[in-house]
Structure 1
Amino acid sequence: MKIAIGNDHAGTDYKKVIVAYLEAKGITVTNYGTNTSDSVDYPDFVHPVAQDVEDGNVDFGIIICGSGNGANMTANKHQKVRSALCWTKEIVALARQHNNANILSIPARFTAQQQAIEMVETFLITDFEGGRHERRVDKIAISC
């Protein structure tokens, strides 16, 4: 499995913990995030993750910023991206099951690191249910 990860300055510590968790599971991680706490612009680190997901270069993406909102909004500008802003593993499970989310957006300032790990684990082990949800997911992207 391949995962792209991106973060701004608020998510650096979370990213480090998540990357260590993923690599311990044998997952290949592409890091597009900043590695410092110096202020940066989250779109610069989120667009590459979303592009990798959109192009099929990775299986999933994980993005992290302070509230998760800016990163999530940025990622969802990409047509083949279904980024879900989540703050509990239950919301993560529903985002995968019902929305076939392919990017997980984590709000670093509103979750604990252990909670973030649990959300990532849930994201990776939960399958899309398809069925009636497939019809709805197919209507998300705008056709140009």
Structure 2
Amino acid sequence: MERAAGLENAMVLTQRFTFNPKEGIDNPALVIADDAGSDRPLIPHLCLLNRGQGESFGFYLQVEKDRRGHVIRQVEPWSVAERGGLRDGDRLLEVNEEFVDDVEHHKVVQRIQACGLQLCFLVLGVKSMRRR
């Protein structure tokens, strides 16, 4: 008898959850955003790129009218750049520990081309949420 009463009390305390799409989910850990908008902080991070002989790094460097500095674009999937942590839209701050944010674009490109098989970048970008 006591056992049945305890089971009834446990059932009263346990409520069944039914999802209402109009109310949404009230758990910030479960919120999924489609847009990586400006509300996410920009974080500087190092990217070490090691390529093989005859292999490209797999990205383009551009100067854009609406953005300051040099911007990483068209990072190729599975490339040295992607494996090294570069993401499309990252802003390049340093090449091999030399500040390049205010250096002319063609000079930055020359530094990258003259680096050989290894590059170290400091970039400013939204840090990826997936683990590497």
> For the superposition of Structure 1 and Structure 2, which TM-score range results when normalised by the shorter chain?
under 0.3
Which structure has greater strand proportion? 2
Which structure has greater helix proportion? 1
Q: Which has the larger radius of gyration?
A: 2
Q: Give the TM-score normalised by the residue count of structure 1.
A: 0.25
Give the alignment's TM-score, normalised by structure 2: 0.26
